[in-house]
Chains A and B, each alone.
Chain A
Amino acid sequence: MESERSDSPPSGSAPVAEVFNSIRERSIAENSMVVLLQGLQGEVTTVELRNESSARGRVVNVDAFMNVRLDDVTYKDRQGKSSQLQDMFITGRNIRYVHIPDHVDIMKTIEGHLAKIHRVRNFGSKGGGRKEYAKKAK
């Protein structure tokens, strides 16, 4: 239905951040801290799960519900046993912590990702664009 704008090419060397394709996800995300996790796309981080296991890998995508896709994952189960996984999907509900890499500037990441969301929202002509909410009368 909605055109798939801002879709990234499949696993390129420099991953382009994807923006959601649904209005609902955009609204949910921009009002919560999930935007920070979305800005982490492309970074290697550790995600700790509620079941005491952890997964360290590169963040491919995070959606508004905090579901996370990771690439090149080292998964350590609660006993400490490691295994290598190429691709992993973690349900948002199962996440306890996400480690933020030291070099990430939080404010910049959040502002950058919010700008991407707003760019998608305003895609189109200057006066038009997707009418996701009523615009202030000029």
Chain B
Amino acid sequence: MADEVEQPPSTNTVEEPLDLIRLSLDERIYVKMRNDRELRGRLHAYDQHLNMILGDVEETVTTVEIDEETYEELYKRNIPMLFVRGDGVVLVAPPLRVG
């Protein structure tokens, strides 16, 4: 059953920044999002808009309240499988090593 449309060949070389994300497929990654949110999860899929599918995600929302003393509040939750819309993504990186 021949394809009637030519599929673009998948290359293994890194040619553009999005290819760097391709290297992280199926790996755990760290995603920084707008509105002080961070996601840590396994990257299952992504597209050119940076829409992503993340599995086993932990979302961290950071709220900084400036009272008399500044204090920071972290709100975490876990979601098994999440579709993230690309326009909220600020950066994508391998998970941060603490310490």
Question: Hey, which bits of chain A sit against chain B, CB under 8 A?
Answer: 31-34, 36-37, 50, 66, 92-93, 95-102, 104, 106, 110, 122, 133, 135-136
* Residue in B6, B49, B52, B83 with the greatest tally of chain A CB atoms within 10 Å: B83
Task: Give every chain B residue within 8 A of A50 (Cβ-Cβ).
Answer: 35, 88
B81 and A100: CB pair below 8 A? yes
B6 and A136: CB pair below 8 A? yes
Task: Given A33-B47, A97-B83, output 5 extra A-B contacts at Cβ < 8 Å.
Answer: A33-B45, A36-B45, A97-B82, A106-B45, A122-B4
Nearest to B44 among chain A residues (CB) is A106
Q: How far is the CA of A136 from the CA of B2 in the complex (A)?
A: 10
Q: How far is the CA of A100 from the CA of B41 in the complex (A)?
A: 14
* CB of B76 closer than 8 Å to a CB of A: no
Interface size grouping (class) on chain B: 20 to 34
- B13 → A minimal CB distance (Å): 21
Nearest to B48 among chain A residues (CB) is A32
A95 and B82: CB pair below 8 A? no
Task: Give every chain B residue within 8 A of A133 (Cβ-Cβ).
Answer: 5
> In the complex where A32-B48, A32-B49, A34-B51 touch, is A95 in contact with B85 (Cβ < 8 A)?
yes
* CB of B53 closer than 8 Å to a CB of A: yes
Q: How far is the CA of A36 from the CA of B83 in the complex (A)?
A: 9
A102 and B81: CB pair below 8 A? yes
Task: Give every chain B residue within 8 A of A32 (Cβ-Cβ).
Answer: 47-49, 51
- B59 → A minimal CB distance (Å): 8
Task: Give every chain B residue within 8 A of A36 (Cβ-Cβ).
Answer: 45, 53, 83
A97 and B48: CB pair below 8 A? no
Contact of A37 among B46, B52, B81, B83 (CB under 8 A): B83
Q: How far is the CA of A93 from the CA of B51 in the complex (A)?
A: 12
Contact of B85 among A31, A96, A135 (CB under 8 A): A96
Contact of B53 among A92, A95, A96, A100 (CB under 8 A): A100
Nearest to A129 among chain B residues (CB) is B4
Q: Mark B29-51, 1 if CB is under 8 A from A, else 0.
A: 00000010000000011111101
* CB of B64 closer than 8 Å to a CB of A: no
Q: Mark B68-93, 1 if CB is under 8 A from A, else 0.
A: 00000000000111111101100000
